[in-house]
Chains A and B, each alone.
Chain A
């Protein structure tokens, strides 16, 4: 399980302690290193927890924490061999239940995953969700994610990633140009409803994000992928590059979260009840779509070329609604 080297807060540490004790009891004898791997923590964090547990217990009738009311461990094994054995325990022996929120978060996560091809077995997903519900101390929060249709090519790409084989495909880029590409697939990453392939592109000789729905003519080749262990596969989809475009916009405060991905920095300036911020985008093709999709909420201030690109985009869209066009289209439409 992936390690999360992140300092835990009090309640999180409590959850860990309450989970660690039944684990130790179930395992009977366990190495510090093994426990650290299992919980994704450092060995020192595990030792610290063991020392805390070994001196914890119940106040007892006298309120003085007498030895018999405390946990006890085999101190020799622990100090000499880094091995944990609980020899006396009090109050807890079983795993704690999930909270309503915890169960709901996992259930909604599973609902989102149900869109992926390999999770098509909905019966086992449903039984897993039932187990989480049964394992919660209260009815899980009423949170749900609608199932969505997965892209058919996703399964092919996944197998190429798993087998480490090169892919060939036609790719339509954001500028509307289509080109045949060859790439070493490294990782599939999704953001909301969109799926991306992160791959080493032979044409660009660098790691690139490819949107799966813009790929066609997919071919899994016999060629193995190269060694890319020295390359960083970015964890986010939006990475800066030298050719990026900085654009100043005014945005309504409520729309700010919608453009958070593109903010160049955290500075904002208030201008007539709006916020003036700087966005960083790869090119104007992304900008014009972003701005037109938030009509009235965001206005490009500078540079002038970016303003013009947005204006042209909207005007071209409007041209489709000139009245002559309207009548002709209405007849082709079947209403």
Chain B
């Protein structure tokens, strides 16, 4: 008996494709003013109704509805839950709806063909799967306006990669305002340490992704480098937080910039070398005769890693902290490669 019911449910699922069920659900929830009860949805909306058991065995269907609700909200569709004024707290009396005023793209949001071409290019920037998918979905939505973008610029493909494994879980946590836990290997510490953080903003500064968040262990805001997060970023169940102020990401970028301007290094670079070219374009002062450039940097450990890559092409003149950091990195690399190694 049980096997037969399960089989029937599967057959029902294959008859109505996912997008058909989701589309029917969105239409039904947009059309209702007062909202629909879950029982009304499951018994009447296409994709559910075929599998609805009037006798009440609908646990699978209810779980399906929960997942569909999450999927729909993920797409930015404002699916609301309304409590019954007579029966607060009663889940069976909850009503669901999508208020049309919050669903429709506001009238003033319209784009010129030039703007759409630029947005198309912006969407192509992302090589990372979820950012790319989000951008493409946004473009699909904007195509509904029926405006043809200006011909895209040929032969131009700017790209930004995201190589930090912690990026995507942090971006999700940012959106869901979900407290997370991760191990962080702070420069200068002997071993990674666990942190519990409310993620407030994720920014790219000087080619590196940073997380700004409220660190529960020190009870203060802190900025972390994503590349130094070790292992998984785990959500802390049931712990969420208030939305940070709008524009916090720009404030963090400004703070990182201010921090960068506080630190300056004098470097001797070999003429004609890769170091001269690449570091030289970020120099704030340069003395070409002496082959010396002055640069700002944000983090001594991170900058030392970068400088070590240039080997003999760059030599740190000042400050001593950076000199020592680069020297010890080169010693580490030299020591690890001394001798023939394993064969």
Residues of chain A contacted by B311 (CB below 8 angstroms): 288-289, 292, 313-314, 316-317
Residues of chain A contacted by B315 (CB below 8 angstroms): 320-321, 325, 329
Across the interface, name the chain B residue whose C-beta is closest to A21.
B144
Report the stretch among B84-92, B157-165, B234-242 that lies at the interface: B157-165
In angstroms, Cα B72 to Cα A12, docked, is 10
Residues of chain A contacted by B105 (CB below 8 angstroms): 94-98, 135
Q: Looking at chain A's contact residues, is the secondary structure mostly helix, strand, loop, or mixed?
A: helix
In angstroms, Cα B17 to Cα A300, docked, is 52
Question: Residues of B within 8 Å of A, CB-based: how many?
Answer: 137
**A17-B19, A109-B122, A128-B119 known; A295-B330 Cβ under 8 A:** yes
- Out of A10, A151, A189, name the residue touching B19 (CB < 8 Å): A10
- Asked whether A333 lies within 8 Å of B323 as measured between CB atoms, the reply is no
- Out of A39, A65, A124, name the residue touching B46 (CB < 8 Å): A65
Interface string of B9-42 (1 = CB under 8 A from A): 0000000011110111011101100000000100
The reply on A207 being an interface residue by CB < 8 A is no
* 8 shortest interchain CB distances as A-B pairs: A99-B76, A293-B309, A109-B122, A63-B44, A10-B18, A333-B317, A13-B19, A144-B249
The reply on B329 being an interface residue by CB < 8 A is yes
- Asked whether B143 lies within 8 Å of A19 as measured between CB atoms, the reply is yes
Docked complex: B122-156 residues within 8 A CB-CB of A: 122-126, 131-146, 148-149, 152-156
Residues of chain B contacted by A112 (CB below 8 angstroms): 122, 125, 158, 160, 204
Query: For A95, A100, A128, A137, which residue has the most chain B Cβ atoms within 10 angstroms?
Result: A95
- Asked whether A19 lies within 8 Å of B141 as measured between CB atoms, the reply is yes
* A-B contacts, 21 listed (Cβ < 8 Å): A1-B149, A2-B152, A11-B72, A96-B141, A100-B76, A128-B119, A135-B106, A144-B203, A172-B272, A174-B274, A176-B272, A188-B155, A193-B207, A214-B277, A295-B308, A296-B336, A307-B340, A314-B331, A314-B334, A335-B266, A335-B318
Across the interface, name the chain B residue whose C-beta is closest to A16.
B140
Question: Residues of A within 8 Å of B, CB-based: how many?
Answer: 129
Query: For B144, B153, B171, B185, which residue has the most chain A Cβ atoms within 10 angstroms?
Result: B144
Residues of chain B contacted by A124 (CB below 8 angstroms): 115
- Asked whether B175 lies within 8 Å of A17 as measured between CB atoms, the reply is no
Docked complex: A95-120 residues within 8 A CB-CB of B: 95-106, 108-110, 112-113, 116, 118-119
The reply on B53 being an interface residue by CB < 8 A is no
Beyond the given A105-B132, A335-B319, please list 17 additional residue pairs across the A-B interface where CB-CB is below 8 A: A14-B75, A18-B144, A57-B24, A59-B44, A96-B104, A99-B76, A101-B134, A105-B131, A110-B118, A112-B122, A113-B122, A113-B158, A142-B248, A185-B155, A187-B155, A192-B160, A295-B305
- Asked whether A141 lies within 8 Å of B171 as measured between CB atoms, the reply is yes
In angstroms, Cα B194 to Cα A254, docked, is 16
Across the interface, name the chain A residue whose C-beta is closest to B312.
A316
Across the interface, name the chain A residue whose C-beta is closest to B116.
A1
B residues whose Cβ falls under 8 Å from a Cβ of A: 17-20, 22-24, 26-28, 30-31, 40, 43-46, 49, 71-72, 74-78, 102-106, 108-109, 111, 115, 118-126, 131-146, 148-149, 152-161, 163-165, 171, 174-175, 185, 200-207, 227, 230-231, 243-244, 246, 248-250, 252-253, 256-257, 266, 268, 272-274, 277-278, 281-282, 290, 292, 305-306, 308-312, 315, 317-319, 323, 326-327, 329-334, 336-338, 340-343
Across the interface, name the chain B residue whose C-beta is closest to A309.
B337
In angstroms, Cα B118 to Cα A128, docked, is 9
The reply on A80 being an interface residue by CB < 8 A is no
- Asked whether A99 lies within 8 Å of B171 as measured between CB atoms, the reply is no
- Asked whether A319 lies within 8 Å of B312 as measured between CB atoms, the reply is yes
- Out of A57, A189, A293, A315, name the residue touching B334 (CB < 8 Å): A315
Residues of chain A contacted by B43 (CB below 8 angstroms): 63
In angstroms, Cα B312 to Cα A29, docked, is 68
Residues of chain B contacted by A293 (CB below 8 angstroms): 305-306, 308-309
